Amino acid sequence: GLVYVQVTRGVASRDFVFPSADTKPSLVVTARKADPAAGAKRAETGIAVITVPENRWDRVDIKTVGLLPNVLAKQKAKEAGAQEAWFVDAEGNVKEGGSSNAWIVTRDGVLVTRPAEHGILRGITRTTMFEVAAKLGLKIEERGFSVAEAKAAREAFISSATTIAMPVVAIDGDTVANGHPGSIT
């Protein structure tokens, strides 16, 4: 299953200052049954992503509930027949997905993902990917990559708590490699 935990400072006046010390935090826990078979089936064929201009606030590395741009990007992806949207910065580099981290595999088999110091959410699954890659002897480069580099990559994939590692077989309607999930993903 999947458990999602949200903690806030609690209920207080809507005056946008920190509440008093006696305010009790609020806790919301959501649990849902996971369907690993559906995820595995989707991984057999891979998913499509679209790209959208980055329009979020600068501190997306801070996990908040202010996710309207992510919701709108994911809806745009759905309407385009894709399953994820990758935010692209002003320089043309992929930042991250609406609800995932973005990865590519170079022609030399190196995994590439954007550095997580600033500009993307670090992601627990992303961190786990580093551990798995080390155990498998795979090299990871933390650097930006362009949409063009992603389209020309040996493989592309996303990582998230709900998808783990999900192959990306098309970006903006262009096929990645041979259009099938790659061996590394």
Q: Point out the residues that are catalytic.
A: 63
CB proximity list for 1: less than 8 A, separation 6 or greater: 31, 32, 33, 34
Spacing of C-alpha 166 from chain mean position: 10
- Cβ atoms of 71 and 93 within 8 Å: the answer is no
Of the candidates 85, 98, 91, 107, the residue with the CA atom closest to the CA atom of residue 144 = 91
Range list of H helices, 36-169: 36-45, 68-79, 124-136, 147-151
